[in-house]
Amino acid sequence: MKKPDKINILIVDDHRILVEGLKKLFDNSEIIQVAGTAYTGMECRSILSKKIPDVILLDISLPDVSGIDLCKEIKEQYPEIRIVVLSSFSEYAMVRRMFESGASGYVVKNAMPEEIIMSVEKVMENETFLCEEIDLLMRKRTHNPVWLTPREKELLRHIVDGYTNPEIAEKMYLGVETINSYRKNLLIKMGARNTALLVRMALEQKLI
């Protein structure tokens, strides 16, 4: 009797150690195989122009493109591909935006290996999958869906006060590049497209 075809997945994540760990995880699977890996959005697009996987495991924070935008782009060009978000972000606004962009599943990077495997299986069955942590988050959503660390709150306060990145770097005793990175992650975490929207959300939601 012929064995069923394996589910081909493409891993898109710039954390090489994580990617290697995922490859080892799927190497032990009887129904899933890694068809390719990409560390940037550009590499992902290049692979998709040559072969189409069944499922993409997609990180949100890529060095050259937002995972939100890439998810939307992939679903518009290749609607048959299922996308599972694999991210360190676990905020309601981020989960919502990824599903609005076409994702079928959402798994945090510290999820159990079994959950990661199950996410691929479930989306292939045209089901939506949330790992346990995200499922609890969505069920217990409060009126203040974003939780910020003290450092993120400090950064947000300086942004709302109108300080530039170099000025913020000086106030927080950090490098300008570090502030640039923190600021980018804060925009993603808040689900804000630009600084003006970030400031408005911070004031409306009383985050500072």
Q: Is residue 41 part of a domain?
A: yes
Do 76 and 174 lie in one domain? The reply is no
Same domain assignment for residues 179 and 132: no
Contacts of 73 (CB under 8 A, 6+ apart): none
Q: How many angstroms separate the Cα of 168 from the Cα of each of 5, 33, 151, 179, 208? A: 53, 45, 12, 7, 16
145 within some domain: no
Please name which of 165, 194, 170 lies closest in space to residue 66, comparing C-alpha atoms.
194
Residue 1 within any structural domain of the chain: no
Do 46 and 105 belong together in one domain? yes
Same domain, 19 and 95: yes
pLDDT for 172 equals 95
* Cβ–Cβ under 8 Å, residues 22 and 116: yes
The tens place of each residue's pLDDT in the chain, 208 residues long, gives: 445 689 999 999 999 999 999 999 999 899 999 999 999 999 999 999 999 999 999 999 999 999 999 999 999 999 999 999 999 988 888 888 898 899 999 999 999 999 999 999 999 988 889 998 888 877 666 455 577 888 889 999 999 999 999 999 999 999 998 898 888 888 877 777 778 888 988 888 788 7
Last residue of a domain, one of 139, 172, 195: 139
Domain span including residue 114: 7-139
**162 and 68 in a common domain:** no
